[in-house]
């Protein structure tokens, strides 16, 4: 626990942490504001605009799921890069070597470092979620829509559990970049791998045979998306749910990927030569 606290202090002092959170929150706010502007600009709110989707994005309670979905998409990509960069810096900055020289257990340090990053991600999820709620209110105001009740008690309990699922999904997904950076001892290897995998996970399934699509359903990105349990806009939710895994099954698989990636990272660090 003490190693995780030390790691948390280390990461919070880095400019990259604050910058990453600011970028994620800013992009998210701009997204919802631009949706509101686009809707307002459309003639009678229907020219070139998918009204059900806009309503889902800018009115509560549907906007809760929309915000969580956008948090996962925007903050998730930034989190992948951030975690890969932070873990790779353990080698380039020599902090891992210093910790081992002082007698710290290698595997404990590896796990504790990721635990610190997971806490940073939790704070990031909460900050970007709060920014998204504010952005929805602004976007709805610009669009001229009735925003609904953002503090509806009947909806908040479900929102809390989906936020927790979103955080677990992000932690599981970023563990892939963490493992790659630790094994390769390189920030760039981790960043390149996670960006390439992120893009491939979005576009490849549509271009591949059905048997390969079935395999993609069980890979980290797909299971992380499904584990949150968000159906999506009314116009796409039914089609998406037909190919998605059950959220609880996806959550278990995501946790399995997390444990596996941490095991790979820990074994790699245990066997690595860091004396040079």
Per-residue pLDDT of 224-269, as tens digits, reads 989 998 877 776 555 455 567 899 999 999 999 999 999 999 998 8
pLDDT of residue 273: 74
* pTM, two decimal places: 0.87
Task: Identify the band that residue 156 occupies on the pLDDT scale cut at 50, 70 and 90.
Answer: confident
pLDDT of residue 46: 52
Neighbours of 72 (CB within 10 A): 24
Element of type H or E holding 197? helix 187-207
Interval 72-89 mean pLDDT: 87
Q: For all residues of the chain together, what is the average pLDDT?
A: 83
Task: Identify the band that residue 152 occupies on the pLDDT scale cut at 50, 70 and 90.
Answer: confident
> What contacts 24+ positions apart, CB below 8 Å, involve 30-33?
31/70, 31/74, 31/135, 32/57, 32/58, 32/70, 32/132, 32/135, 32/136, 32/138, 32/139, 33/135, 33/138, 33/139, 33/142
| CA dist., res. 2 & res. 102, Å (int) | 14
């Amino acid at each position: 626990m003490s190693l995780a606290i030390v790691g948390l202090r280390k990461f919070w002092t880095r400019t990259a942490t604050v910058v990453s959170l600011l970028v994620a929150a800013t992009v998210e706010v701009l997204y919802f504001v631009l949706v509101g502007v686009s809707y307002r600009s459309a003639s009678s709110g229907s020219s070139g605009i998918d009204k059900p989707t806009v309503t889902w994005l800018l009115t509560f309670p549907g906007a809760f799921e929309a915000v969580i979905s956008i948090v996962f998409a925007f903050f998730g990509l930034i989190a992948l890069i951030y975690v890969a960069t932070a873990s790779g810096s353990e080698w380039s900055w020599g902090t891992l070597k210093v910790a081992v020289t002082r007698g710290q257990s290698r595997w404990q340090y590896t796990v504790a470092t990721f635990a610190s990053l997971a806490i940073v991600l939790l704070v990031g999820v909460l900050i970007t979620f709060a920014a998204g709620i504010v952005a929805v209110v602004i976007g709805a105001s610009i669009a001229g829509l009735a925003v609904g009740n953002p503090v509806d008690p009947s909806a908040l309990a479900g929102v809390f559990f989906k936020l927790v699922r979103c955080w677990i999904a992000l932690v599981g997904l970023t563990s892939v970049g963490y493992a790659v950076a630790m094994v390769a001892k390189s920030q760039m290897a981790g960043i390149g791998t996670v960006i390439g995998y992120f893009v491939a996970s979005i576009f490849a399934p549509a271009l591949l045979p059905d048997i390969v699509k079935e395999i993609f359903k069980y890979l980290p990105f797909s299971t992380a998306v499904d584990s949150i349990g968000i159906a999506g806009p009314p116009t796409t939710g039914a089609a998406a749910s037909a190919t998605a895994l059950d959220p609880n099954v996806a959550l278990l698989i995501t946790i399995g990927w997390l444990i596996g990636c941490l095991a790979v990272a820990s074994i790699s660090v245990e066997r690595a030569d860091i004396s040079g």
